[in-house]
Amino acid sequence: MQRRNPALWLMTDTEHGLDPPYNWDVARPRKKSSAGPRFARGIAALVVVCGLGWAFRDPLLRMGGRLLFPYPFRADIEREAAAANVDPLLVVAVMREESGFSPRARSRVGAIGLMQLMPHTASWIAHRLKDPLGNSVPLDAPNGALYDPRTNIHLGVRYLAYLERHFKGDTVRALAAYNGGEGNVARWHSLAEAYPETRSYVERGLRAYAVYRWLYGPSPGPTVPPVSNWGP
């Protein structure tokens, strides 16, 4: 039996409709999940370490957690997150799940860089921001803008912030849309209807987000999981 993140147990299926999806986002190609038993064991061990670190206020234990959950590109993430009004710890959690902090990462379906942006999505965001990048050379060129960490973070954070606003602060839906496509989330009545890879991605993303808030939040310690009115 598959274990589910406790955050998902809080959800109720009370809302079944969203605004019609934009034409530019019919469906984002799915990426194959790399989660496995080794990953699950690592997460479980880290949760124990972080919990002990909080319980005993031991900075050495929290330091160990930070080695497993680092916070690279912190200045860029926090600058862009502040400008877009999104939690930087959500951004770094998404980045960890998407690329493992590799600026040169490219998925088999063409998602690029730290935030694993599809070129058409990045171009849409750039045009939406009236950013000159929208008229630049192809973003997915071998040395294109999406491989530049600052550019990728800039556009990726704005896209994540857009999804958070579009889904009225529902982080579960925003994560599902980041992975599975905004149009698909608009059609799914609950997370149970999502692609299996998307369900796994949301659970991993929520776990990573919780750990980052434990380790780097203003008051390290257990935090209340995101509340969603989307069905489990």
Catalytic positions: 98
Q: How many CB atoms lie within 10 A of CB 212?
A: 25
Task: For residues 176 and 200, give the distance between their C-alpha atoms in angstroms, rounded to a whole number.
Answer: 10
Chain centroid to Cα 109, Å, comes to: 18
Q: How many CB atoms lie within 10 A of CB 65?
A: 23
Which H or E element spans position 2?
none
Task: For residues 45 and 179, give the distance between their C-alpha atoms in angstroms, rounded to a whole number.
Answer: 26
Q: Is the dihedral of CA 21, 164, 224, 42 positive or negative?
A: positive
Burial class (CB in 10 A: 0-12, 13-18, 19+), 106: middle
Q: How many CA atoms lie within 13 A of 84 on its CB side?
A: 26
Q: 3-state DSSP helix/strand/coil percent for the chain, to nearest 5?
A: 55, 0, 40
Q: What is the DSSP string of 176-223?
A: HHHHH-HHHHHH-SBGGGS-HHHHHHHHHHHHHHHHHHHHHSSS-S--
